[in-house]
Amino acid sequence: MGAPGSAVAGLDARAGRLQVPARRPGQAASRPTVEITHLRKTYGELVAVDDVSFSVTEGEIFGILGPNGAGKTTTVECAIGLRSPDSGTIRLLGLDPQADRDEVHEIVGAQLQASAFPPKLRVGEILDMYRSFYREPADVGELTEALGLSGKCHDYYKSLSGGQRQRLSVALALIGRPKIAVLDEMTTGLDPQARRDAWELIEGVRDRGVTIILVTHFMEEAERLCDRVALIDNGRVVALDTPARLAAQARGGKSVRFLPSASFDDRLLTALPEVTRVDREGQHVIVTGTGELASTVILALAAAGVTARDLQLDSSNLEDAFVRLTGRHTDKEGALT
Amino acid sequence: MTSLTLPRSRTARRAAFGQIMLNEARLTWRRPVGLIAGVAIPLVLLVIFGKVSKFQQHSAALGGLTPFDLYLPILVVFALAMLALLGLPIPLASYRELGLLRRLSTTPVPRSWMLIAQGLVQLCVVVAAIVIMIIVSMTAFGAPAPKSPAGVTVAVALSAAGLFPIGLLVAAIARTANGASVIGRLAFFPMMFFAGLWLPRALMPDVLLTISNYTPLGAAVEAIQDSMLQGFPPVAPLLVLAAYAVVFGFLARRFFRWE
């Protein structure tokens, strides 16, 4: 039976090899955890979300950034099934948040903006209640330990500090052991130390294999935490990239503002390769450009005998980055026409 | 739900509902405004009325009854109205204000459970209040035992069914807990007038009595008083209460905002 046996084995091996591409575990893992395509949501006349598409892979910390009213919150509210989109599709691990609502709520933990609890409930009572909502909940002891709330279970909600309330809120988002956690403005209103603690916490959660969607308007937060960031403005994704690349783009458009000690010809600066434009605002001069802008401008002015007084370098915060990125967008379009 | 998901067991769902109930009960106890308004105040009034000797005299104008006989059902309705119009909507409005109802909608548990739990807790409180009042009136002030305990049960159940949706509508209209408290009070006093708190129904002129018959608290007093003193209540007030339950149930459902 040796020969036929080996023939069968060979066949098996071939069959096995043929099946490999279809069974490769990497393929299942590469399916996006969150996939949103052409999401649109309006409230009457108001277009909250115009056209938003992005996908998030497993274990990623994905940031959604944008100014107030950009449509960030509506986007995540649609994603977790709190609102039904007008059009577009949303899939969370292949589930539709509207059609598979119950199951989506089992696998998604959400920490929403402005959610508080009755002052006279104890921390442990709130945790026990939320714990009972889920099929396979986390251990309260472990969770409170990880969130620095372990000594607080007997405290009333009203006695918690802002940071502790925020951590409790995050604990409740994680108590169902979700595969996806949505955290909306979780560090707003926290002091810098509490904010840094919250960041460490989020990284710890991700290390446990949870995919995280982080809604924020802090550039620093996104830079520190997010693997990728979607910038949303007027209900549209205007940029989607790693924070490093987005920041580089934003820095690419920095500006310097100063009061010249003497008058000079704009061409002195526009001739410099780093300078893209020169504007005047009363006595002040605003130079926009790239690279080592400030030192180049100061040197060029010094060479012409002009001192730059009252020098201000704009900080590359989110709003600026945002203005630049949207501006760049139209510039590109302008260049095309 | 897709067929792939593990359905949550009945026990797990019951445990989750139990946890919500437990926390609602804790809050009701720890923030006893509702207990004071809905239990302590009517009970204190009952004791005061019981101590006034004039209230214990049979009166021909009242059809041979004592004022105390008339006031027991009025105070029962007082407790019902307080808990339905203030005890129920104030916490619900505050939960909406806190974002609690919105947050609950992100969990696998239906957000309506919070409303149901709150309603059940208030119902337990009101039943306790009524039982205490009846026992006190019988033991301390020699009031007769209710003629028809089944009638009292039906009348109280329908009164709660008619009044609780009004409370839900208060919670729906109000933007905040304070708003709910103001609207609840504004509704409470005129409604209590037709219950006969200031002028018992037996002394009301015909026009007022007719109006009273069609108000929720007037109908509730009529049904509860009849079942306490005579027997199973007549159909008319029960129908009025059922109609309020249907109409306000629909309105509350239509207008209730979760966020």
Min Cα–Cα distance to chain A from B25, Å: 11
- Check B102 against A112: CB less than 8 A apart: yes
Does a structural domain hold residue A3? no
What pTM does this model have? 0.77
Q: Torsion-angle region of residue B196: left (phi > 0), alpha (psi -120 to 50) or beta?
A: left
Residue type, A20: V
Task: Render pLDDT for A295-308 as a digit per residue (tens, 0 to 9).
Answer: 889 999 999 999 98
Which CATH number does the domain housing residue A276 bear? 3.30.70.100
Give the DSSP per-residue string, B101-122.
HHHHTTSSS-THHHHHHHHHHH
| Paired residues of A312 in beta bridges | A257
If one compares A162 and B129, the residue with the highest pLDDT of the two is B129
| Window from A58-62, A209-213, A241-245 with minimum mean pLDDT | A241-245
For residues A25 and B70, which has the higher predicted lDDT (pLDDT)? Answer: B70
Residue A192 maps to a domain: yes
* A210 and A105 in a common domain: yes
Whether A14 maps to a domain, the answer reads no
- Identify the H or E element spanning A229: strand A228-233
- Asked if the model's pLDDT at residue A14 lies above 60, the reply is no
Residues of B in contact with A103 (CB under 8 A): 1-2, 5
Judged by CB atoms closer than 8 Å, whether chains meet at B108 and A176 is answered as yes
Cα A109–A111–A114 angle (5° rounding)?
Answer: 155
In this prediction, the residues of chain B whose per-residue pLDDT falls under 50 are 1-6
C-beta of residue A180 within 8 angstroms of C-beta of residue A92: yes
Count of structural domains within chain A: 2
Taking the CA of residue A98 and the nearest CA in chain B, the distance in Å comes to 10
Find out whether A213 and A180 touch, Cβ atoms under 8 Å: yes
Instruction: Find tokens 């995050």 and name the residue.
Output: A170
- Is residue A111 within 8 A of residue A186, CB to CB? The reply is yes
Identify whether residues A232 and A313 lie together within a single domain. Answer: no
Whether A185 and A314 map to the same domain: the answer is: no
CA distance A127 to A153: 8
Using CA coordinates, name the residue in chain B closest to A77: B106
Residues in chain A with CB shorter than 8 Å from the CB of B29 are none
Contact B107 A128 (CB under 8 A): no
Question: What are the tens digits of pLDDT across the range B206-221?
Answer: 999 999 999 999 999 9
Structure-model confidence comparison of residues A92 and A243, the more confident one: A92
Q: What is the pLDDT at residue A337?
A: 20
Distance from B90 to chain A by nearest Cα, in Å? 12
The H or E element containing residue A50 is strand A46-56
How confident is the model at residue A8, as a pLDDT? 38
Check residue A251 and give its pLDDT: 58
CB of B21 within 8 Å of any CB in chain A? Answer: no
Residues from chain A contacting residue B12 (CB–CB below 8 Å): 132, 135
Domain that holds residue A107: 31-242
Radius of gyration, alpha carbons of chain A: 26
- Residue A167 domain-assigned (yes or no): yes
Across the interface, whether the CB atoms of B103 and A110 are under 8 A apart is answered: yes
* pLDDT on residue B11: 86
Interface test with A, best of B107, B121, B257 (most A CBs within 10 A): B107
Q: Which residue among B15, B18, B108 sits closest to A105, beta carbon to beta carbon?
A: B108
Last residue of a domain, one of A212, A242, A272: A242
Which residues in chain B touch residue A113, judged by CB atoms under 8 angstroms apart? 99
Q: What is the rounded CA–CA span in Å between residue B105 and residue A135? A: 16
Question: Same domain for A298 and A152?
Answer: no
Q: How many CB pairs under 8 A join A and B?
A: 83
Average pLDDT of chain B? 91
How large is the average pLDDT for residues A257-280? Answer: 88
Q: By mean pLDDT, which of A85-99, A256-270, A282-296, B38-52 is the weakest?
A: A282-296
Question: B64 at the A interface (CB within 8 A)?
Answer: no
pLDDT digit string (tens) for B40-64? 999 999 999 988 888 888 888 777 7
Are A90 and A220 part of one and the same domain?
yes
Give a yes or no: residue A24 inside a domain: no
Interface touch B27/A121, C-beta < 8 Å:
yes
Cα distances from A275 to residues A163, A191, A253, A256, A311, in angstroms, run: 44, 38, 10, 10, 16
Nearest chain A residue to B30, by CA? A120
Given a cut of 50, whether residue A187 has pLDDT beyond it is yes
> The domain that contains A147 carries what CATH number?
3.40.50.300
Contact A103 B107 (CB under 8 A): no
Q: How many Å lie between the alpha carbon of B122 and the closest alpha carbon of chain A?
A: 17
Residue that finishes a domain, picked among A211, A242, A273: A242
Pair of tokens at residue A229:
């960031």
* Contact call for A129 and B22, based on CB within 8 A: yes
- Model confidence at A2: pLDDT above 90: no
Give yes or no: residues A210 and A62 share one domain. Answer: yes
Same-domain check for residues A223 and A118: yes
SS3 label, residue A22 = helix
DSSP state letters, A81-143:
TSS--SEEEEEETTB-TTTTHHHHHHHEEEE-TT----TTSBHHHHHHHHHTTSSSPPPHHHH
The H or E element spanning position A38 is strand A34-43
- Residue A218's SS3 state is coil
Nearest residue of A to residue B20 by CA position?
A129
Token output for B226: 């009849």
- Is the Cβ pair B108, A128 closer than 8 Å? no
CA separation for the pair A78, A64 (Å, rounded): 14
Q: State residue B118's pLDDT score.
A: 94
| Same domain (yes/no): A233, A316 | no
Rounded Cα distance, B145 and B68, in Å: 13
- A7 within some domain: no
CA distance A250 to chain B (A): 35
In-domain check, residue A58: yes
Are A49 and A154 found together in one domain? yes
Q: Which of B110, B88, B84, B96 is nearest to B162 (CA)?
A: B84
> End of a domain among A224, A242, A260?
A242
In chain B, residues 72-101 whose CB comes closer than 8 Å to chain A: 91, 94-95, 98-100
Express each pLDDT in B231-259 by its tens digit: 999 999 999 999 999 999 999 999 998 88
If asked whether residues A126 and A185 sit together in one domain, one would say yes
For residues A148 and A259, state if they share a domain: no
Percent of chain B surpassing pLDDT 90: 78
pLDDT at B2: 40
Average pLDDT on A10-19 reads: 37
Res. A132: pLDDT tops 90: yes
- A260 shares a domain with A192: no
Please give the span between the terminal C-alpha atoms of chain B, in angstroms, as a whole number: 25
Tell me whether residue A318 is in a domain: yes
Tell whether B31 is within 8 A of chain A (Cβ).
Answer: yes
Query: Quick check: A110 and B26 CB within 8 A?
Result: no
C-alpha distance from B33 to closest chain A C-alpha (Å):
13
